[in-house]
């Protein structure tokens, strides 16, 4: 279940990428790197719900 908005998710993702790698996020979540990149830059306003849920779960479990 998605608990945060797409903008909040993007903010969390950008914060993670200050110390982490997109390729690692893609590998662990199973989300294509190109999709993550487009979401990060705002080319995709939002992700499909199942992808957003995976990314949210990963980011919340890996916050620093």
Residue 23 included in any domain: yes
Residue 46 included in any domain: yes
Residue 1 included in any domain: no
Give dist(CA 34, CA 16) in Å, integer. Answer: 17
pLDDT for the residue numbered 63: 82
Residue 33 included in any domain: yes
Give dist(CA 18, CA 45) in Å, integer. Answer: 21
As given in the structure block, the two tokens for residue 22 are 């997109």
pTM, entire model: 0.90
Structural domains of the chain, count: 1
Residue 15 included in any domain: yes
Q: Domain containing 10: what range? A: 6-61
Residue with tokens 């990149």: 37
Q: Report the candidate in 56, 60, 63, 5 with the shortest Cα–Cα distance to residue 31.
A: 56
How is residue 64 annotated by DSSP? -
pLDDT for the residue numbered 2: 62
Average pLDDT per block of 10 residues along the chain, 64 residues long: 86 94 96 96 93 95 84
Residue 42 included in any domain: yes
């Amino acid at each position: 279940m998605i608990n945060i908005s797409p903008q909040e998710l993007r903010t969390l993702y950008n914060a993670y990428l200050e110390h982490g790698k997109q390729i690692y996020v893609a590998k662990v979540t199973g989300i294509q790197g190109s999709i993550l990149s487009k979401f990060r830059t705002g080319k995709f306003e939002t992700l499909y719900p199942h992808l957003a849920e995976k990314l949210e779960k990963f980011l919340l479990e890996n916050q620093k």
